[in-house]
Amino acid sequence: MPTSLETSLFIRACRRQPLERTPIWVMRQAGRYLPEYRELRAKHDFLTVCRTPELAAEVTVQPIRRYGFDAAILFSDILLICQALGMDVEFNPGPVFKSRIESLADVSKLHTGEVAEKLSFVPGAVRASRELLKGETPLIGFAGAPFTVATYMVEGGGSRNFERIKSLLFTAPEAANALLDTLTQGTIEYLGSQAEAGADALMLFDTHAGLLAPEEFDRYVAGPVDKVARAMARYNVPIIYYSNGTAGALKRISQLPVQVVGLDFRMDIGSARDILGPNLAVQGNMDPVSLLAGPDQVRRRARQVLESNAGRPGHIFNLGHGILPNAPLECVQALVDTVREWRPTA
Shortest reach from residue 162's CB to ligand CP3, in Å: 13
Q: According to CB under 6 A, which residues from 213 to 232 bind ligand CP3?
A: none
Shortest reach from residue 174's CB to ligand CP3, in Å: 26
Does residue 266 touch ligand CP3 according to CB under 6 A? no
Does residue 79 touch ligand CP3 according to CB under 6 A? yes
Does residue 10 touch ligand CP3 according to CB under 6 A? no
> Which of 45/274 has CB closer to ligand CP3?
45
Does residue 23 touch ligand CP3 according to CB under 6 A? no
Nearest Cα neighbor of 232 from 261, 191, 262, 280 is: 191
Shortest reach from residue 279's CB to ligand CP3, in Å: 25
Q: How far apart are CA 138 and CA 140, in angstroms?
A: 7
> Which of 82/302 has CB closer to ligand CP3?
82
Residues 152-191 as x/- pattern, contact with ligand CP3 by CB under 6 A: ----------------------------------------
Does residue 73 touch ligand CP3 according to CB under 6 A? yes
Shortest reach from residue 260's CB to ligand CP3, in Å: 15
Of positions 137, 193, 194, 207, contacts ligand CP3 by CB under 6 A: 207
Does residue 109 touch ligand CP3 according to CB under 6 A? no
Q: Could you give the residue numbers annotated as active site? A: 28, 32, 41, 77, 152
Does residue 95 touch ligand CP3 according to CB under 6 A? yes
Of positions 188, 322, 327, 334, contacts ligand CP3 by CB under 6 A: 322
- Binding residues for ligand CP3, per CB under 6 A? 27-32, 41, 46, 73, 75-79, 91, 93-95, 142, 205, 207, 322
